[in-house]
Amino acid sequence: MLATIQYKSRKLQIDLEEPIDISIPIRASKSNVNAWCVEEPKIEPVKDGEWTARVKDGACVNFNNIYFNPHAHGTHTECVGHITEKAYSINQNLKHFFFLAEVITVAPERLNGDSVISKKQIQFALGNKKRDAVVIRTLPNTRSEKWHKQYSHTNPTYLLEDAAVYLREKGVKHLLIDLPSVDKEKDECELLAHNAFWDTKGDLRLDATITELIYVSNKVEDGMYFLNLQIAPFENDATPSKPILYKIIE
């Protein structure tokens, strides 16, 4: 089904029948994607004495507790409260959920033994395009790797500070990336890309978000999409999220 929508000053026709889910789900498994040296997620039935809240064990309902860390266990969206002394909630600060997005693919460069994404690469991919959101897919890109990767102590690819500054100055409000962090795993808490994107030394961008640990299939072409950034309503700096892309019919 095609739908015509008015987005800011543009009329867009999008294909609602072909949503493209770029989230990684949270599963109770050691093979669940993982980062930051925490245990795997757990999904367990409530127990009360000998009674277990699981239908196959005789209960009339399944009634589970879920234990997870949004930053470590799947696709999540975070606000500036992730790095500030003052508490800011993603649920309070993300108030709009539809954005014009550009999907770009980047082959990280080597710099001082690290794998990085540079300003030059982002500039080349975006050109003069103006987008509210940018979705970065890094190479190599396989579902098995990005759904199951154990990132702790692996020094994954990260975004250089000047690339984050460039995105901020270009007016990008929502950055989505298929890595556990936009910053280096061990950087003595400098968090250069986070700080640069949210402009913590200037005009704090409370309405800007970073979404990490996405997965964009190789079947998805680079280009412009309509993004629905869905989040769970946790009052926390970060929450599990489900970003959905829709093709724009030119």
Specify which residues 42 forms β-bridges with: 67
User: Which among 172, 195, 171 has a CA at the least distance from the CA of 184?
Assistant: 195
Please, what's the b/e burial string for 149-178 (b: 16 or more CB within 10 A of its CB; e: otherwise)? bebeeeebbbbbbbbbbbbbeeebbbbbbb
pTM: 0.97
| DSSP track, 94-137 | ----EEEEEEEEE-PEEETTEEEE-HHHHHHHHTT---SEEEEE
User: Which among 143, 137, 13, 151 has a CA at the least distance from the CA of 72?
Assistant: 151
Query: What sign does the dihedral 158-193-122-247 (CA atoms) show?
Result: positive
Task: Answer for the pair 217, 195: CB distance below 8 angstroms, yes or no.
Answer: no
What pLDDT tens digit does each residue of the chain (250 aa) get?
788 988 888 899 999 999 999 999 999 999 999 999 999 999 999 999 999 999 999 999 999 999 999 999 999 999 999 999 999 999 999 999 999 999 999 999 999 999 999 999 999 999 999 999 999 999 999 999 999 999 999 999 999 999 999 999 999 999 999 999 999 999 999 999 999 999 999 999 999 999 999 999 999 999 999 999 999 999 999 999 999 999 999 7
Tell me the domains of the chain and their CATH numbers: 2-247 (3.50.30.50)
pLDDT digits (tens, 9 = 90+) for 24-69: 999 999 999 999 999 999 999 999 999 999 999 999 999 999 999 9
Compute the chain's Rg from CA coordinates.
19
Asked if residue 140 has a cis previous peptide bond (ω within 30° of 0), the answer is yes
Question: Mapping DSSP to helix (H, G, I), strand (E, B) and coil, where does residue 147 land?
Answer: helix
Q: What is the mean pLDDT of the chain?
A: 97
pLDDT digits (tens, 9 = 90+) for 222-243: 999 999 999 999 999 999 999 9
Residues 6+ apart with CB under 8 A from 116: 108, 109, 110, 157, 158, 159, 160
Cβ atoms within 10 Å of 194's Cβ, excluding its own: 20
